[in-house]
Amino acid sequence: MVQEEHGLRVAYLGPMASYTHQAALDTFPQSRNHTLTPVPDIPSIFQAVQSNNAERGVIPFENSTNGSVVQTLDLLADSKNQYPNIQMCGEAFVRVQHYLLGRKSTSHSQSQPTHRSSPSGANLRHVKSLYSHPQAWTQCTPFLSSAVPGRERHDTSSTSRAAEIVAADKSGSSAAICSALAAELYGLDVLAPDIEEKKGNMTRFLIIRNSPTTSPSSPLSQNGSSSSWKSLLSFTLPQTGSPGALAQALAVFGKYGINLTSMNSRPSGERPWHYIFFIEFQGRRGDGKVDNALAELQSVVARWKTLGTWMSNGGQDGG
């Protein structure tokens, strides 16, 4: 299991104080001599692991408010076969509490009745532009429309990169949506705390490794019951307009009593309106019913790939 390993090189979406960094710290504690390396974007995490520059990578997979991280799904779809060895081997859940960080205004809000204030009372009139990762905007919709409506928004590669940009802006007129940790690290003021819409907002991260073979797992008796494991696979269907093909593929799992826990689809990149499906299920290869289901699936789908197996942590907050 991931928790027992020591001295791994781990790539995560940087710079420091991103939520992915938090997931990496939770999963690979520094007390076990892991080396955590920030990289500028999610493709760089895949590249680092595929090229063995890192033994593990931490990637955002889905958010409880916002749904799937489509960039991650597209990298997993791997339509150009750039990441043939990437396999999932763990998951981590992080509570995502967003803060608006910037520079506090030095003007006196009392003399300006039209000023809007954040819930914490900070004057936000001086904030002219906002920076954050695209996933964060839709997690903070009510706050953005009530406290800072109409501001120019700039997408960044991560929330911590947004903090870095705002810290470098000496005019003080920009603000970032990011973690509280970023305030400390980048020397920014908290303009508004807890601005996410859903108070239980959480993101699930997957841990990736380089694993050229997808051999069956070790005997189940050594590692808990099959239901404590989760697996991810992708598949495409033979052709568009083939009635019942998707239903047939999914029915295979029902037939063998396998619980599906999530399903996503993305354009396959092969031709317009053709999709790649991602199925996550309870169980793993080496368990008879999973092996039988996968064997049967092969006769229904066009192309399929197992994307890894990991011990489920039950959907709890990893932090």
Q: Does 27 bind ligand PRE (CB under 6 A)?
A: no
Q: Does 133 bind ligand PRE (CB under 6 A)?
A: yes
Region label for 7, one of left (φ > 0), alpha (ψ between -120 and 50) or beta (otherwise)? left
What is the DSSP-derived secondary structure letter of residue 157? S
Q: Does 264 bind ligand PRE (CB under 6 A)?
A: no
14, 15, 19, 34: which one binds ligand PRE (CB under 6 A) = 19
Q: Does 68 bind ligand PRE (CB under 6 A)?
A: no
> Smallest gap, in angstroms, from Cβ of residue 244 to ligand PRE?
35
Site for ligand PRE in 197-226 (CB under 6 A): 203
DSSP element (H, E) containing 175: strand 174-178
129, 135, 210, 264: which one binds ligand PRE (CB under 6 A) = 135
Q: Which phi and psi angles does 63 have, rounded to 5°?
A: -115, 140
Q: How far apart are CA 155 and CA 201, in angstroms?
A: 20
**90 or 283, CB closer to ligand PRE?**
90
Asked if residue 201 lies in contact with residue 97, where contact means CB atoms within 8 angstroms, the answer is yes
> For tokens 């339509």, what's the residue?
79
10, 11, 13, 49: which one binds ligand PRE (CB under 6 A) = 13
DSSP strand pairing (174-178 vs 129-132) = parallel
Q: Does 158 bind ligand PRE (CB under 6 A)?
A: yes
The number of angstroms, rounded, from the C-alpha of 163 to the middle of its chain's C-alpha atoms is: 19
**19 or 278, CB closer to ligand PRE?**
19
Q: Does 118 bind ligand PRE (CB under 6 A)?
A: no
Cβ neighbourhood burial of 151 (10 Å; 0-12, 13-18, 19+): middle
Site for ligand PRE in 86-105 (CB under 6 A): 96
> Smallest gap, in angstroms, from Cβ of residue 117 to ligand PRE?
25
- Residues lying near ligand PRE in the complex (CB under 6 A) are found at 13, 18-20, 60, 63, 69, 96, 133, 135-136, 158-160, 203
